[in-house]
C-alpha cells in the first residue's frame, strides 16, 4: 500500500525527504511528512481505501499520537465501531486510523486485535516513544538501524542508505547465507548495521534505548478428535471469509492466476463473493511446461477478464533494475517473470490477491515431499541407495523427478551424496535445500572470504523449531513459515509488486487460518505422496476435478532453450574470471567449472550460476555505483 520511514534523533528534514523519495514507487499518489526537532516520519501513499481523506501521517484528537502505516487492516470496520463506542472520534474513513485509536486505548497490546498485513510506526509524544511493529507472518517489510544512539527505520533498505551516518559495512555472514539458501534468512541484511524487524515482533525506542518483543508465535498442537470433513468445512469457511475481507478497497482488485490449485481457489472464492467481473493475470515462457493454458481455463470458468504476459530473453537484461528494487538479493530467475507479472497487473489494477502461503502451510513443495519420503528410510540403507542412484541413468531419474529441468550428472551426484548421509534431520534439510553445500564452499570461497566470515554461524536459530516437536512434517512446515516464507516468498512479492505500485494480498495468510492449520493433523496436509490434502478436500466441489487432483507444477523459469544465449552472455560479463578475481571473494576457476558443466546438468548448475550472477549484479548496483557516485535515478533505470 505504501512506504514509511523516519528517525528519532537530530537529523534535518532534508534527510526525511530524501528517504521518502527513494520509495516513491511504493506510493506515487501522495507524500506526507511529520517533522519536529528530534523526530521525523515520512510516508508515500498508494491510495486504496478512503481515497479523499486518508492522507498520512495520521493523528489522534489531541495530536499526541502520530502514525505512518504500510499495509491493510481487514477488520478495521469492526475495530472502528468498538473504538467509537469507547469515545474515540475518527476524522477519516481509512483503515489506518484504527491503529491510532487502538494504540491510544490499548497501548502495545493493540497488535492483538489487528487482522491484516502491516508495518507501521507510532510516535507517542507524551511518552517520548517510537513504536514500530510488523505483522505476524512478515508480509510487509520493516528495516531499522541505530546509529550513535539514534534510530532510523524504513520500508526499504535503500532509504536508510540516504543517511551518511549509516555504516555500510558488508555482512559477509549474510552473503554466506545467500549462497546457501538463495535468500537472506532471519533478521540480517547484506549490510551489517541494518536489520529487519522479525515477523510478529514490535520494537520500542525510548530515551535512547531499544526494546524488541515478540507478540505472536505459531504453535503446532494437533486436534485429533475432529473428523477430516469437519476440518475441511472449517478451512473452507475461514478462507472464504479471508477472501471476502481482502476484497476491501475503493479501487479495482485483481488476482495472479497460475492455473494451479492455490490461485484457482482464490479466484473461485473472489467470483463467489462478488459477481462483478474480476481481472486475472498470468505469465508464461512459451515453453511446454507453461501453465498458461490451465490459467485460461480457470479464467473462462469464472468469467474473469484475463491478461497474459510472455517472458522473452531480452527481459533478463532487466535484472539490475529488479535487484535494485529487491535490495537484499533473491538468487532465483523467477524474479524476472514475477516482476513482469506485476508490471502487467499495474496497467489494470492497484491490488491483486495471490495464492502465496498455501505451499508453506500445507506442504506443497517438491523438496518437502522428498524430505518426508527419505525420512521414512532407515539410515543404514542410505549407502546402498546412494550407490544405486549413482549408477542410475539420469534420464530415468528425471522421469521420477517432478521438475521441468534435467537433474544432469551434477544433480545425480548431489542426490547420491544426500542419500548416503541420512540419519540427521537437521543436516538432511540443510544439505537438501543448500544451493552450495559446505563441501562446495571449500572450493568456491577464497581464503579472503573465509577470513571475513563471522565465527559461530547462526544455525541454531534456523533450527530452533526442532526442539518443540518430534513430528517431522510440522517441524519442516515451521521452518518454511519462519524463514522461507517471509524472507523469500513474501519478500519478493512485496518488493516486486510495490516496484510497480501494486499491492499484493495473501488470503491464505490470514492469521486465523495459520493458527487453525497449526491444529490440523499433519496427515491432512501432506501424506504418502499427496500434498495440500485439506485444501483439495475443502474445495473439491467448486473447482474442476482435474485442477483439484493435479500435482503442483513448479513455477520455474527455464534458462536453457531460447533463454540460454542471453543468460550465458550475462554470465560472461558479470562472472568473467577477471571480474570475479577482482572482487576477491569467490574462486573464478570453480565458477568456470560450473559454467562448463551447466550444459549437461542444467537444473543445479543454472540455479548456481543465476545466484552468482545476481550476487555480482548486487555488488555492481549497491557498491560499485555508489562508489562511483552514480545518481540514484540511474540505478532505478537499471543502468549497468
Backbone angles phi, psi at 212, to 5 degrees: -115, 135
198: region left, alpha or beta (phi > 0 left; psi from -120 to 50 alpha): beta
Q: Which of 598, 615, 612 is nearest to 563 (CA)?
A: 598
Cβ atoms of residues 508 and 262 within 8 Å? yes
Cβ atoms of residues 69 and 140 within 8 Å? no
The per-residue b/e assignment along 450-470, b for 16 or more CB within 10 angstroms, e otherwise, is eebeeeeeeeeebbebbeebe
d(CA 389, CA 412): 7
d(CA 376, CA 370): 10
Helix, strand, or coil (residue 35): strand
163 in active site: no
Neighbouring residues of 396: CB distance < 8 A, sequence distance ≥ 6: none
Q: Which of 425, 514, 526 is nearest to 473 (CA)?
A: 526
In degrees, to the nearest 5, what angle opens at C-alpha 506 toward C-alphas 58 and 114? Answer: 40
Cβ atoms of residues 572 and 609 within 8 Å? no
d(CA 298, CA 288): 19
Cβ atoms of residues 119 and 142 within 8 Å? yes
d(CA 491, CA 509): 14
Backbone angles phi, psi at 210, to 5 degrees: -100, 140
Helix, strand, or coil (residue 206): strand
Q: Which of 2, 110, 163, 605 is catalytic?
A: 2
Q: Which of 240, 513, 138 is nearest to 361 (CA)?
A: 513
d(CA 574, CA 596): 16
d(CA 125, CA 133): 17
Q: Are strands 305-310 and 65-73 parallel, antiparallel or unpaired?
A: unpaired
d(CA 23, CA 325): 10
Q: Which of 463, 483, 479 is nearest to 186 (CA)?
A: 483
Cβ atoms of residues 16 and 7 within 8 Å? yes
Catalytically active residues are: 2
Amino acid at each position: 500500500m505504501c512506504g514509511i520511514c523516519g528517525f528519532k534523533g537530530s537529523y534535518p528534514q532534508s534527510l526525511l525527504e530524501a528517504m521518502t523519495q527513494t520509495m516513491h514507487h511504493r506510493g506515487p499518489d501522495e507524500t506526507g511528512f511529520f517533522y519536529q526537532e528530534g523526530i521525523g516520519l515520512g510516508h508515500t501513499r498508494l491510495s486504496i481505501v478512503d481515497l479523499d481523506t486518508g492522507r498520512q501521517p495520521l493523528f489522534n484528537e489531541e495530536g499526541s499520537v502520530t502514525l505512518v502505516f504500510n499495509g491493510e487492516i481487514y477488520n478495521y470496520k469492526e475495530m472502528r465501531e468498538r473504538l467509537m463506542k469507547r469515545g474515540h472520534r475518527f476524522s477519516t474513513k481509512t483503515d489506518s486510523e484504527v491503529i491510532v485509536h487502538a494504540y491510544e486505548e490499548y497501548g502495545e497490546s493493540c497488535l492483538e486485535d489487528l487482522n491484516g498485513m502491516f508495518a507501521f510506526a507510532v510516535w507517542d509524544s507524551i511518552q517520548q516513544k517510537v513504536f514500530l511493529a510488523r505483522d505476524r507472518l512478515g508480509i510487509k517489510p520493516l528495516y531499522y538501524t541505530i546509529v550513535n544512539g539514534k534510530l532510523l527505520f524504513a520500508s526499504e533498505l535503500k532509504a536508510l542508505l540516504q543517511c551518511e551516518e549509516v555504516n555500510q559495512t558488508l555482512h559477509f555472514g549474510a552473503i554466506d547465507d545467500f549462497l546457501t539458501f538463495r535468500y537472506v534468512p532471519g533478521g540480517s541484511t547484506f549490510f551489517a548495521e541494518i536489520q529487519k524487524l522479525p515477523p510478529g515482533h514490535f520494537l520500542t525506542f525510548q530515551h535512547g534505548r531499544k526494546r524488541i518483543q515478540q507478540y505472536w508465535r505459531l504453535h503446532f498442537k494437533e486436534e485429533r478428535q475432529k473428523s477430516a470433513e469437519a476440518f475441511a468445512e472449517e478451512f473452507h469457511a475461514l478462507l472464504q471469509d479471508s477472501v471476502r475481507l481482502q476484497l476491501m478497497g475503493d479501487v479495482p482488485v485483481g488476482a495472479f492466476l497460475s492455473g494451479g490449485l492455490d490461485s484457482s481457489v482464490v479466484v473461485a472464492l473472489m467470483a463467489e463473493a462478488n459477481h462483478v467481473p474480476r481481472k486475472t493475470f498470468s505469465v508464461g515462457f512459451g515453453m511446454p511446461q507453461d501453465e498458461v493454458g490451465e490459467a485460461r481455463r480457470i479464467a473462462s470458468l469464472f468469467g474473469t477478464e484475463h491478461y497474459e504476459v510472455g517472458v522473452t530473453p531480452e527481459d533478463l537484461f532487466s535484472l539490475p533494475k529488479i535487484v535494485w528494487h529487491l535490495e537484499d538479493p533473491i538468487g532465483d530467475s523467477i524474479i524476472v517473470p514475477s516482476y513482469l507479472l506485476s508490471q502487467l497487473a499495474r496497467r489494470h489494477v492497484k491490488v491483486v490477491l495471490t495464492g502465496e502461503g498455501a505451499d508453506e502451510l500445507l506442504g506443497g513443495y517438491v523438496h518437502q515431499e522428498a524430505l518426508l519420503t527419505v525420512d521414512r528410510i532407515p539410515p543404514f540403507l542410505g549407502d546402498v541407495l546412494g550407490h544405486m542412484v549413482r549408477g542410475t541413468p539420469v534420464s530415468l531419474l528425471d522421469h521420477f523427478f517432478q521438475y521441468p529441468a534435467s537433474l544432469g550428472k551434477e544433480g545425480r551426484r548431489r542426490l547420491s551424496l544426500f542419500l548416503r548421509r541420512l540419519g540427521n534431520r537437521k543436516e538432511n534439510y540443510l544439505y537438501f535445500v543448500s544451493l552450495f553445500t559446505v563441501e562446495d564452499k571449500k572450493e568456491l570461497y577464497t581464503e579472503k572470504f573465509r577470513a571475513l566470515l563471522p565465527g559461530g554461524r547462526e544455525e541454531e536459530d534456523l533450527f530452533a523449531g526442532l526442539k518443540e516437536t518430534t513430528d517431522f512434517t510440522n517441524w519442516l512446515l515451521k521452518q518454511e513459515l519462519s524463514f522461507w516464507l517471509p524472507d523469500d516468498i513474501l519478500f519478493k512479492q512485496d518488493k516486486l509488486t510495490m516496484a510497480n505500485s501494486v499491492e499484493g494480498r495473501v488470503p491464505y495468510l490470514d492469521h486465523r487460518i495459520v493458527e487453525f492449520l497449526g491444529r490440523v493433523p499433519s496427515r491432512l496436509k501432506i501424506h504418502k505422496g499427496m500434498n495440500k490434502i485439506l485444501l483439495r478436500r475443502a474445495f473439491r466441489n467448486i473447482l474442476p476435478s482435474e485442477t483439484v487432483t493435479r500435482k503442483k507444477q513448479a513455477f520455474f523459469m527455464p534458462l536453457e532453450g531460447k533463454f540460454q544465449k542471453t543468460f550465458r552472455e550475462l554470465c560472461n560479463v558479470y562472472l568473467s574470471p577477471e571480474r570475479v578475481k577482482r572482487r576477491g571473494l569467490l574462486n573464478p576457476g570453480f565458477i568456470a567449472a560450473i559454467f562448463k558443466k551447466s550444459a549437461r546438468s542444467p537444473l543445479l548448475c543454472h540455479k548456481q550460476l543465476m545466484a552468482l550472477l545476481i550476487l555480482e549484479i548486487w555488488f555492481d548496483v549497491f557498491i560499485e555505483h555508489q562508489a562511483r557516485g552514480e545518481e540514484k535515478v540511474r540505478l532505478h533505470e537499471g543502468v549497468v
